[in-house]
Structure 1
């Protein structure tokens, strides 16, 4: 989630720039990801891209070096060490997938900022990061919070897709327990309830963020 929010925000800002060499790659990434079905994107990323990217970054050796002695709590949270490479691929994949949609939300939020706000910040001679931090970001956050909440909730639900590459997330574990216990209806009911609790909690959190943003702007 953090990866998607950070990367999506950066790409959204890049799409709003006037320089074509900054805007064009960001636009290409967003259009490419948004026009490929999520399931197809997961398979392409896992079977082709991650097999080249993870060794290139040296992450495979790093994972192998830290799998000798693993605390049981770490295994319970992240699954067996032999599947950590799959987990890393899944996290990167879902983060990239969601970041394309968040980038569009951020771009739309920036586009809705009145031109006078930009001109006022520039007339004060504010550095770029100060302008975004204290002038632009609070207004954008207030405008995009509802859409961002919906996309974040979709991100939580989309994690079920990566169960297809043997990542022990909620859907994968639920499927294994249902198959081994025979309590198919009961297990999937619990899985659905868990997703419901997670999504409702995030929805309430974003409502609080929206209220605080509105109070900040009204000062």
Structure 2
């Protein structure tokens, strides 16, 4: 069995640390949401139908799932416009995790540049996943020393909070000399320590 990548471990960390950043629906609605989600792999058509009903009833969870499904990640359905619609709807209903998911979609599919303002808002509110992805996407746009220095405070904030991918990215940038030659040995030590700590594959 291959170990999880640190990026996948970061998704787990974000899920574990996002509970207080999303409105919690009533128990009856949550039970129906769980039932619909459980059908995704075995009966996606039934799952999608129920998720659409739940979405109309105001379920943030359903809108997040629909946003995921319409990206073609777990089903045959692929409609990025619908994915954006449902994630935006969940975001507007008060879901900070949905705002990160929406930003990822906008950035990775090159739909528009609104991802930066969305993530900046989450960062200003103290939502650590927003802080990390804001740093990561900004650096991915321009992998220069100047950008690395610009995103360093963001990475340090997320790393101090325990975000695994932020800790690794910060260490990798040190190891690449982005923060000066003297930081390179420390960067290599921190990268190796993180691989030992997580027993995981590198971030991709």
The answer to whether the superposition gives a TM-score over 0.5 is no
Q: Which entry has the higher C-alpha Rg, 1 or 2?
A: 1
Query: What is the TM-score of this pair, normalised by structure 2?
Result: 0.28
Higher RCO by CA contacts (8 Å cutoff, separation 6 or greater): 1
Query: What is the TM-score of this pair, normalised by structure 1?
Result: 0.27
Higher helix share: 1
